[in-house]
Structure formats: C-alpha cells, structure tokens
Amino acid sequence: MKQPNIIFIMADQLAAHALAAYGNTVCKTPHLDKLATDGTVFENANCAYPLCAPSRFALMSGRLASRIGAYDNAAEFPASVPTFAHYLRDAGYYTCLSGKMHFVGPDQHHGFEDRLTTEIYPSDFSWTPKTYEEVGDPERPEHHVKTQGVSSVETVADASAVARSMQIDYDEEVARRAIQQIYDWRRYGDGRPLFMTISFTQPHDPYVSTPEFWNLYKDEEIDEPRVQRIDLDKMDSHSRGLYFHYGLDKFNVTDEVYRRARRGYYAMISYIDQKVGEIRAALEATGMAKDTILIFTSDHGDMVGERGLWFKKNLFQPALSVPLFFHDPSSKGLGRVRAPVSLVDVLPTLVEIATGSHDAIVTEYEGSSLLPLMKNDDPERIVFAEHLDGGTKAPRVMVRRGKYKLVYSEAYAPQFYNLEADPGEVTNLAESAEAQPIFDELRSLLMETWNLDDLRKKVVASQRTRQFLMRSLQIGKVVDWETYPNATRDHTKFVRRGDYFPEVEQRAYLRLPHSD
C-alpha cells in the first residue's frame, strides 16, 4: 500500500457557522470553499471540549480530555499518552508540526520529530484556574478577577484594523516555515511520506486584522446573530456565569461594537483562507498535491455574539461546532456527511489511512474512523463533549445522538434540544413529556460515560496540585519548558566553506512537476 502524504491544517476558535460550506453568506473564503468542493464536508463536526488545550489533547489522543487529565488550559499533556504523531511516525511517516498545539509540560513534541515554531502560549502550569470552590458562584460578578489565560471583553472592544498583531506575527511564521518545509522535504527528504500539522492561532480573539483583510468587509454587511442577545435575567444559569467570567458586564457591546468585532473575526478567517491557498499552491508546485490528503478543522468554535455571548467555554453549538473538510485526491466519497462526528475521530482515521486498520492503536480510545462515513452516512451517530473549568460551578457534559442533544451537570438544570427543529437551541425540552423517553436514554448514556461527582474531585485535586507545583517551581532557578525550532537544517542548505557552489545550487533545484 502506497502511503499518501497528509497535511493536517488547523485554525483556532473557528466556528463552522462562519464558513460558506456551513451556510454563511458573508465571510469570504475562496480557498476553503474550493477545498470543501474538492472533498468531503462533515456537516456536524464537534470538538470534544470547547477550550484550546483540552480540545487539542483530545484530538491528538483520540480520547475525551478528562480520560487523560486534560481538565483545563494548564493541564499537562502526559508524554505517556500516544498521539496520532506517534502512530504515523511508527507507520513510517516523517512527522512535523508548524504552529500552535498548546502543549503543557516538559514534552513539547508528543511524537513529532520536528517542531518548526515555538508555542504562542505558556507551556507551564501558570494558567491553572481556580478550583470550583475558589471561584465561588460564577453568577456573582464580585467573584471574578482577571486571571491569566482568560479572554475578556477588551478583546471584543479592540476590534479594528491594525498594521500588525502578535497573532499575525505568529501565523506568518507558521505559514512561512510550513511552506518552506514542504519544498525542503520534496528536495531533501529521506523518502518517507510526509505528515505535517500546520496549526494557526487565528481567528482567536482579539478580533483584529490588517487592512488587506479588514477592508474585504463593511460594517453594514455583517450578518445578524442567528440568536439575538438574551437579556441577562433570561439567560440560563451557566450563561450568566460566563457573562461575568468574560467581563461582559464591564463594557456595553452595542450593535456597532458587535458588527466591528464580527467583521474582525471574518477578516482573520479570510487571512487563514489565504494561507490555505498558499499551502495548496506549494503542494501543486512540488508535484505533491496528487499524493497528499488534506484535512482542515479547528480546535473549537466561538460564540461571536450569538445569544449575547463571546468566546467559548460553553456547550452551545457555536462554541462546539467546528469545520471539518477531508480531501483525498485519489478517491471520491460523499460530498457531505450528516453524521455527528468529533475531533476524537481524527486519530483512528489517520491510523487507518497510514496502516489500513486500527490494529496499531495500543490504548482505549473514544473515537472511530471517519472513512466509512464517507461511503455510508450515519445520521444517528453519537458524540460526546465536556467542559470542566472556568465560569462553571461543576463539570458539564454533553451527548448528541442524531438531532437530539443533552447538556447535563450536577450544578445546573439540564438543557435538551432538538437541533433539527431548533438549531439555535432556544427551546429547552428537558421538561417536555413527549421528549422524556429520548431524554432518559441520553441521560443514561452520560451516566455510563462519566461519574460526575468523581470527576469533580479529580479536577479539583489536579488544579490544587498544579497550583502548588507552579508556586514551588518559581523559587530559585526557573527552568522553562518552552521549545524553539532547531535552525541547523536551514543553514546546511546554503553554500559553506569547502563547497563547490554549482553543486549546492543544483541540489536545491526543484523541477516543475511537468519536467520530471
């Protein structure tokens, strides 16, 4: 079996509903639109946890985040957990990462042979949140203080055109190094197939972009939220807690501010779209496109003003839903798949592509391969998600089977929706006698999957331990876990002492595909 190259591209905080492939008529994404047309669109893809680090650890391991102790954005990703990079490396692939994976802990590779960039966020325990008891009642604004690693309303208020931002700096480096690596691997690689993860930090807030992309839009063209702002006294209890968690009580997000922020969000997505086009162009130029599977997704979504909420950390669909495109130039499957799927399905999918089966997987895993769904859709498929930190009184979990979705917690009233009839999740059916049988069935599935009381204790114990470790590790000599790319390879491509420069030049030629 000839193994294809695989390019796995990730955005950060990109909600599916922002893309044309999912019905958006405002956001301009020609390259992503073409990728969707060329391949398969998963219409109902979900993250397993609506927060960066836990979602990424679940994605890479094929496990629910709570199964591996990934409770929040400062939870260590254990080096003993196999990832899709380990499996593809074992299957004979060269594995490399350009961009953000939000790894926390001393292992900053997790199966990738090379990291082409550093991380954008800390790799230590400094973002460990307060425990449930320390937070108190999230619905009381006096209980909220600024903490590291938490978005806040300022990044909505700041929405504007800028000459440059930290995120743009980072993503420029991510794209530059990834594209250079594609050219380098085609010329200097050791013959193994390529598995590269390219992970951008946009369109994560703040909602700013350069004039090139900002000016693609006008404020008056920005679409209204699908679900209008809900008054604070009519919000569900958890949403009220998030309202204060993100400081939305400290700034009036007017309609004008909403449109400006959503405009910035779309501008950042258009930036990512351009980078996807550049990556595909590099694959075409090297002749690799015909042998390369492309997968595009995001770690989680963003409320972007839906219901009057922003960012993530809730289990409504704008925060849970992610785009998921799959393009294999050697085969043609279904153009659109309705089955609910999860990012935990990516690991078994990649293992099956690389090895032809799931036999190589050595641990338990919650996902299942997406490949069969591209031939036989399964609209009644079941997926799970969870949210355990920040702005919540206790763990919250979700199960979706087909069109029905249940959100459950020991600290909040259950939320039960028919997503087909009510895509905006406005009508809670938890008290509906007619819906009671399916409600009970889904609740049983949740109880089989999680012991919520035990999970709460594990989260609190982990957070207390990491708070202590972070405090102790700041005493005396401080050792960072951040990693930086090894630049040696870049320099060995160029002419050095003793080289006959025409030979070096000739080695660097990459002939056009038609001249091979």
Q: Which residues are catalytic?
A: 52, 102
Q: How far apart are CA 6 and CA 10, in angstroms?
A: 13
Residue 194, SS3 per DSSP: strand
DSSP state of 110: T
- Rounded Cα gap, residues 210 and 433, in angstroms: 52
Torsion angle, alpha carbons of 144, 319, 462, 153, to 10: -20
* Closest by Cα among 142, 152, 145, 132 to 392: 132
User: Of 383, 365, 387, nearest to 373 (Cα)?
Assistant: 383
- Cα distances (angstroms) measured from residue 178 to each of 239, 280, 309: 39, 11, 34
Instruction: Quote the CA–CA distance of 222 and 214 in Å, as a whole number.
Output: 12
Please work out, in degrees rounded to the nearest 5, the angle formed at the alpha carbon of residue 447 by the alpha carbons of 445 and 450: 110
| Spacing of C-alpha 404 from chain mean position | 23
Asked if 244 and 139 count as a contact pair (C-beta separation under 8 A), the reply is yes
H-helix segments, 215-254: 237-245
Please answer whether residues 202 and 268 qualify as being in contact, where contact means their C-beta atoms are separated by less than 8 angstroms.
yes
Q: Which of 113, 109, 91 is nearest to 4 (CA)?
A: 91
Q: Which of 312, 298, 375 has its CA nearest to residue 343? A: 298
Put residue 425 in one of left, alpha, beta given phi > 0 → left and psi -120 to 50 → alpha. Answer: left
Q: Which two tokens stand for residue 70?
A: 């990934």
